[in-house]
Amino acid sequence: MSLIPDITELLARARADLRMGVPVVLTDDTGFSVLSLSAEALSAQRLADLRALGGEPVIAITVRRAETLKARAYDGDLARVLIPADADLSWVQAVADPSDDLNAPMKGPLMTERQGSANLHRIAIALTKSARLLPAAVVLPIEDGSGFAAAHGLTCIDHARAAPHLTERSPLREVVAARLPMEVSEAGRLHVFRPDDGGEEHYAVEIGRPDRDKPVLARLHSACFTGDLMGSLKCDCGPQLRGALAQMGTEGAGVLLYLNQEGRGIGLANKMRAYFLQDQGFDTVEANHRLGFEDDERDFRLGSDILKSLGFRSVRLLTNNPAKIAMMERTGIAVTERVPLKVGETAHNRGYLATKAAKSGHLL
């Protein structure tokens, strides 16, 4: 029946629940079930209620966060940290959030589980990540997960159905396109694309009427609220955005893909957490790792999908990032030329740019 939510819709509901601090139920095909909550959004009352159910709750954290905390990650990509019986909410959140790591570095010794499957814990972390929360989940095994979910009005997610949807990007649909005169060109047009999974919309800014049979001057630009809108001096995003549009305007044609993947795909709140850590002396990559994220959590394939839907098959790519070029080539978009975009260096972002060159391979 079409009125019943499918797995894509249930995952969108689960993300919204986690952001509000509401638990979700995860189940697998063996009958194993767990209750999962975002460590970031957890309240003291819900922690108490969770404990009242019995059993031993854990905090599932990524291997990046586990490395910082010196916790053994027996599951490879994650660790299941046992929550001591006397641990309060602040202890749980300190394991998830590195903001106070330097003030209180001794959080352990942290004991981690090594027995049993971590598949549902992996789904729990993936859900918190995709909800733009800290990648840490409080997880408690329960009996009869589907029955528990029904009795308490909770969203229930089946592992086998959910796993493919959490690793593959959602199809994008063009919602609308309209003329948009801009400072760089009066012949502008904005296309809005919306993913089927209820995630952030992405945009294509078309300058002029680019010939679909020729390589188009293109830029994949990740949203940066602080740089694009606020004029932040900590990055070069704003100057890159304006420089790319200006070059397209000068040439009379181009496409700028504005992808809502703030903070290298971790969201604005987590980017601000990373900035706080940078003020403590960590570089941008180290800060992401301490938060539990990889160097870069973005999916550049979204840009390739949008270009194809607009009818483009080859580009002259405005970028300093070889990863974008490699992605385009892998996904069927030919890159006939890399067009450098070296703008926006300041005294505030010189170290950031040096880290991008040294650790992320940017051609600066």
169 belongs to the catalytic site: no
Q: Residue 245: which residues within 8 A CB-CB, separation 6 or more?
A: 182, 184, 205, 207, 254, 256
Ramachandran class of 113: left when φ > 0, alpha when ψ lies in -120 to 50, beta otherwise: beta
- What is the 3-state secondary structure of 234-252? CCCHHHHHHHHHHHHHHHC
**149 class by beta-carbon count within 10 Å (0-12 exposed, 13-18 middle, 19+ buried):** buried
298 belongs to the catalytic site: yes
- Which residue type is seen at 345? E
d(CA 288, CA 134): 11
Q: Rounded to the nearest 5 degrees, what angle is found at the Cα of 126, between the Cα atoms of 154 and 268? A: 100
Catalytic residue among 211, 298, 313, 330: 298
Sheet architecture: strand order including 188-195: 172-179, 188-195, 202-207, 254-259, 216-222, 314-318, 334-339
d(CA 22, CA 154): 8
- Which residue type is seen at 220? L
**Backbone dihedral angles phi then psi of residue 101, each to the nearest 5 degrees:** -60, -40
Nearest partner of 34 among 23, 45, 42, 43, judged by Cα: 23
Catalytic residue among 197, 236, 283, 296: 296
How far, CA to CA in Å, does 190 sit from each of 224, 229, 261?
A: 18, 18, 18
Ramachandran class of 158: left when φ > 0, alpha when ψ lies in -120 to 50, beta otherwise: beta
Ramachandran class of 142: left when φ > 0, alpha when ψ lies in -120 to 50, beta otherwise: beta
Taken as a whole, the chain contains a residue count of 364
d(CA 359, CA 362): 8
So which residues are the catalytic ones? 296, 298
